[in-house]
Every structure is written in C-alpha cells, then in structure tokens.
Amino acid sequence: MAVKRTQADLLESARTQMGFLVDSCASFDQGKTNDALRIATSLRVLLHHNPARGTHALLAQCEMLENLFIRDTFGGSLLGGIPNDMLFIHTRVVDDEGKLEPKFQPRLWGKGGLTVTPPPTAQLHALLQHVRLPRGPRFHQPFLEWWNQIILQDQLSSTFTRQDIVLGLANKDGGAHVDPILTDKYYALTRQNSIGIFSQGNRSRVGLIWGDSGGKAVEKGMGNIVPADSPAFALARQIGWEFVESIGRAHPKVMP
C-alpha cells in the first residue's frame, strides 16, 4: 500500500537537498568545479516538475514553487562580438599547470560572492550597441519564466535555458546519470566549444578572441590558440547562486 508523505517529511527532504546545494556551491567556489554536477542534481530534485512524466519537483510538493520569484542576473547573450565583461558568466585566461587557457567563471553578486561588475568601458559599449548588461541582484522573475528563459546562444544558433543546462548536467552528463547519447547541441556546447571563444598568445601577450560559426579561431598573429572550456559548470553555479539567494529570502524555513 502506498503512503502519502506528510508536509513535514517533504520539508525535511527539501532542507536536506538545500544543504547539498549550499555545500556544493561552497565547494565549487573553493576550486572543486566538478561539484557543478552536484549543484545541477540538487536543482533538478528541487525544481524540475513534469507530473505527466511522473516527475514532481520537491518544492512543488512543498507548495513553494508556484508563487516563487527568483533573481535573474542574465544580461545580453554569448553571441560573437559581445564584450567579455558583459556576460551572465565571464571568461578569464588562467595559467593551468603552465598552459594558458580561457575558462568560464560565474558572475556572482553580493556579499561573499565572486562579484564582478562590468567596467565603465563595457557599460559605454553596451549603451552604444543597445546591449543589456548583466542585471544586479534585485531583479526577479516568476519561477517558470526564469527556468525557461534563454540565457545562452552559441555560434551555431543553438539556444539554452536554465532548465536545459541543469537537466543536461544532472540527467545526461554525470550528475545523477551518465547517458550514452547526448543531444547534438549539448555535445557541441560542452565538448566542441560551440560558443567559439579562444585564447591566443603567450605569457607576454594573451587575449580572448571569437571564432567563426564553425568554431574555428580567427588568426591574429598572437601565437598559440586554445579553445575555451565548457561553460556548463559556470552556468550551473550562477543558476545555483540565483536560486539559493531567492529561496533563502522567500522561504527561510527550507534553508539548512
């Protein structure tokens, strides 16, 4: 005989998942970026709701999802030509055991976060190009609009929502399951640098450049060309930050 869980039982499960999420975010910030897979998995448990297929978001069961507003820090897109300092996530060239590589990083806001504010030059460029800068921490959206908002478009014109990134990492790419088959667009994003960002140069002179729609770097005579890593982990961390900041204010009783 099936037994329906009580609200107290569901709330305790939600607190447990929030504990996993908060701990994974902290671990990511300490350099263990593979914990993005755990971030995505906890977000999937808490937020992914598709009753027609037997999937029930834990927060929906706790009656917290329907009227939830979540912080939206997205601004602009990842299309070629948009300044690096204006992205939902951003890229930095880092020294990885002697190899200069462009890596994506989350753009967190607020106390204790990895706050990155666009410099005046980027703000001026945005004004002239009519491009929206990343939003600050006070802008919120209803959950479904936030969850299904397009936050990334690559050089192949493929688009990705927050839901796409979270479910790709959790359901397909090692969070809760490793699928033998990935979608074409997810594979291109995470394995083939379909965003088309590269670093080019050496220790004395290095810069970030955009590739063409085929993902090939544009030669600028600066030396070695290195493709960027996958943006999926940084996106998961940014999504996790938005959610944790929002749920903690709207429903503090669910926080660990």
256 residues of the chain, pLDDT tens digit each: 889 999 999 999 999 999 999 999 999 999 999 999 999 999 999 999 999 999 999 999 999 998 999 988 876 544 443 434 445 666 666 655 656 677 788 877 554 444 445 555 555 555 555 555 555 555 788 999 999 988 888 888 888 999 999 999 999 999 999 999 999 999 999 998 888 777 765 544 445 555 654 445 455 555 567 777 889 999 999 999 999 999 999 999 999 9
Q: In this predicted structure, what is the pLDDT of residue 38?
A: 98
Is residue 101 within 8 Å of 67, Cβ to Cβ?
no
Q: In this predicted structure, what is the pLDDT of residue 212?
A: 54
Is residue 38 within 8 Å of 46, Cβ to Cβ?
no
Q: In this predicted structure, what is the pLDDT of residue 140?
A: 85
Q: In this predicted structure, what is the pLDDT of residue 91?
A: 65
What residues contact residue 189 under an 8 Å CB cut-off, 6+ apart?
A: 152, 154, 158, 160, 195, 230, 231, 232
**H-helix or E-strand spanning residue 12:** helix 7-29
pTM passes above 0.85: no
Q: In this predicted structure, what is the pLDDT of residue 86?
A: 42
Provide the 10 A C-beta neighbour count for residue 147: 23
**What is the phi/psi pair of residue 34, to 5°?**
-65, -15
Q: In this predicted structure, what is the pLDDT of residue 82?
A: 42
Q: In this predicted structure, what is the pLDDT of residue 65?
A: 93
Cα 173 off chain centre by: 15
Q: How far is CA 20 from CA 15, 24, 130, 240, 248, in A?
A: 9, 6, 40, 11, 14
**H-helix or E-strand spanning residue 159:** strand 159-161
Q: Where are the domains of the chain?
A: 7-254
DSSP 17-71: HHHHHHHHHHHHHTT-GGGHHHHHHHHHHHH--BGGGTB--HHHHTT-STT-EEE
